[in-house]
Structures are given as structure tokens and as C-alpha cells.
Amino acid sequence: MAIEQVCPAGVLPSEEWVTGYYGPEPIYEGEALAKAIIETVERLTK
């Protein structure tokens, strides 16, 4: 199951945003996903 299928809407940035902010390589998509997951967990545990 992909993270995109279980995260609430609006948690993950768009592919265009990730490419523009981080870069086009897959490692940057992973970095953006990790950041989104961490921020969501922090928000939910407060």
C-alpha cells in the first residue's frame, strides 16, 4: 500500500511542488514524503 493511499488529503505535497522545491530525483520525493509523515505524526500526537 502506498503512503498516498492512507494519508489524509492535503498532507502530501504535489509532485510539481516537490520537483520545484527539492528537485526531480527520486531521493527528493522520499525526503518530501518523510517530512510530510513526520509533520503529520507530530500534529496528531499533540
In tens, the pLDDT along 1-46 reads 566 676 666 777 788 888 888 888 888 888 888 888 888 888 888 8
Please check whether residue 5 lies inside any domain of the structure.
no
Show the domain range for 39: 10-44
Q: For residues 36 and 11, is the Cβ–Cβ distance under 8 A?
A: yes
Domain count, the chain: 1
pLDDT value at residue 45:
86
pLDDT value at residue 1:
55
10 φ/ψ sector (left φ>0, alpha ψ -120 to 50, else beta): left
Please check whether residue 34 lies inside any domain of the structure.
yes
d(CA 37, CA 15): 16
pLDDT value at residue 32:
84
- Dihedral angle, C-alpha 12, 15, 27, 32, nearest 10 °: -30
pTM: 0.61
Please check whether residue 15 lies inside any domain of the structure.
yes
Please check whether residue 26 lies inside any domain of the structure.
yes
